[in-house]
Amino acid sequence: FHHQWEPDVLRVEPEFADEVIAALEARGHVVERSPRPWSAAEVIVIDPKTGRALGGSDPRTDGAAVGVDRIDPRGEAR
């Protein structure tokens, strides 16, 4: 997904299912399907119970996920 204020359009990659696009449009989104893949996703999630940071990297890129064992309440890695 990519959305910005102007133009008020949600752009999706070509692999998005027609059903997903229809559901977004039913919710009032203006959706444009990109003719080619154009982005990559990276994510970091912190488990609130353990403080463990987990990462993920889009397999379409050369990225890699790295992390730390624990994030303390002050936000410092341990």
Contact 42, 57 (CB under 8 A): yes
Residues 22, 49 within the same domain? no
Domain count of the fold of the chain: 2
Residues 25, 52 within the same domain? no
Residues 48, 73 within the same domain? yes
pLDDT at site 73: 63
Q: What is the pLDDT of residues 24-39, one digit of tens each?
A: 999 999 999 988 887 7
| CA distances, 64 to each of 17, 30, 36, 67 (Å) | 27, 33, 23, 10
Q: What is the pLDDT of residues 44-71, one digit of tens each?
A: 888 888 878 888 888 888 888 876 666 5
Residues 44, 25 within the same domain? no
Domain enclosing residue 26, as ranges: 2-33
Q: pLDDT: is 1 or 19 the higher one? A: 19
Residues 28, 51 within the same domain? no
Residues 17, 44 within the same domain? no
Residues 56, 78 within the same domain? yes
